[in-house]
Copies of this chain bind each other. A is one copy, B any other.
Amino acid sequence: MAGLPTVSDVAERAGVSRQTVSNVINSPDIVRPATRERVTAAIRELGYRPDASARRLRTRKSATIGVRLEPVLDGISGTLLDRFLHAVTELAATRGLRVLLYTASGPEEEIAELARLRDGADVDAIVLTATFAGDTRSRWLTENGLPFVAFGRPWGVDDVNSPEHLWVDVDGAAGVRQAADHLLDQGLTRIAFLGWPSDAGTGDDRRTGWWDAMTARSGLSADELDLLDVETPDDVHLARAAARDLLLAQPGLQAVVCVSDSAALGASMAATALDRSDVAVIGFDNTPVAAALGISSVEQDMAAVAAGALDLLLGSTGSDVVPRGGLAAGEAHRLITPRLVVRSPLHLDRAPAPTASSPTPPPPRRASPMEGQQ
C-alpha cells in the first residue's frame, strides 16, 4: 500500500542503515555531518515524520489518556458516561492530550488491558469510571505506578482521603436535597423518595439528601418518613408500579423526589393514570426524556466533573501528570454540586380542540408554557 514512509524507506533512500536514521533523529550530534545531511534530505523528500512515535519512545510520554468505554446502555440515563467522555475528550484536547478508548467485560479483563496499555506506554494516565466498593482496578493502578483519577468515590474503603487515590464525584445528596428543599420552599411537606434498593452507594447517597431535608424541615417523624421512603429497580415500568402503590397508600402525598429520571417518568405516568397529576415529580440526571416531557430534574455537570478530574491529574494547567504524593490529602478529590433544573410538566393530556366534537370538553388542568401553544 501507499501508506506512510518508514525508517527503512528513509534508510534506503539515504543509503544508510536504519540505526543511522534513528541516530540522526535521536542524537544527531553523534552522526557525521555529511551523513546527517543525506538522511535529513531523505526524510524531507519522503515526508517521513518521526515526531510523535520517536518522542514517545524516548520520553515514554504518549500525551494520551486511557478511558474505558462501557458497553452501551439503552436506559434513559445510559448516556451519562458518554457525556463524561465527551467532556473529558474536549477538555483534554485543550491541553494537547488525546483520549484512547479501551474495552473490557469485567474488572479482571480491564486490569489485563491496563497492563497492556502500561507496557506499551500507550497512555500517560487512566481516567477510571464506574468505581465500586473494593475496586481491584485502583489497587492495581496504584501498585503498578500508572497514574489515574477516578470518576466515582472509592465506596466503602478508607482511602477516601488518601492523597494517592484521586477521585472526583457528584454530590448526589446535595442534589436531592436541593430538590426536596425546592418542594419544601413551596410549602409541600408530604414528599416521598423513590429510590434504588439499598447497597448501591450512589443510591444511598442520594436518599440521604432527601432524608436530611425532610428531617430538618418537613415536621414529619422518622416513622412517617419511613413510609415515604420507597424502593424500585431503575426501570420505568417497575417504578410506575411502585409509585402507583405509594400513591394509593398515601392519598395526601404531594410530591415524589426520584433517584433517576427513569423512576421519575414511572412516577409521572402513575400519577397521571390515577388522576393525581397535581403530585410534583422531580428526577435525577436531567436526561432528554425529562427535558422532552417537562419533568424537573437534578443535573450532573459533566463538564465540571471532567475539569475536576483533569485538574487533579494534571494540575490546573498543562499536560503532564502531577507526581503522586504531590497533593495533600484534602486536595486529592473534588465533589461537584449538581443543580436542580425546574420545569413545568407537559402532560400528554387531552385539551379542548377547536374541532372537538365533544359538547363539553374538559378544561386544561394546568398551565404550562407548552399548553399556551394549543
Residues of A at the B interface (CB closer than 8 Å) are 1-8, 17-19, 22-23, 26-27, 30, 49-54, 56-60, 62, 64, 69, 71-72, 74-76, 78-79, 82-83, 85-87, 89-90, 93, 98-103, 118-122, 145, 147, 236-237, 240-241, 244, 248, 251, 262, 265, 268-269, 272-277, 287-289, 291-292, 302, 321, 323-324, 346-351, 353-356, 358, 361, 370, 373-374
Contacts and interface: CB of A to CB of B under 8 A. Distances in A.
Contacts of A237: 370, 373
Contact of A291 (B2, B52, B74): B74
A346 B236 CA distance: 11
State the oligomeric state as a number of copies. 2
B353 A4 contact: no
Nearest to A272: B348
A17 B60 CA distance: 17
Given A2-B145, A324-B1, A52 B348 contact: no
Given A58-B7, A90-B103, A121-B52, A374 B244 contact: yes
Given A22-B22, A26-B19, A370-B237, A121 B289 contact: no
A271 B145 CA distance: 60
Contacts of A361: 275
Given A51-B120, A100-B99, A273-B348, A18 B7 contact: no
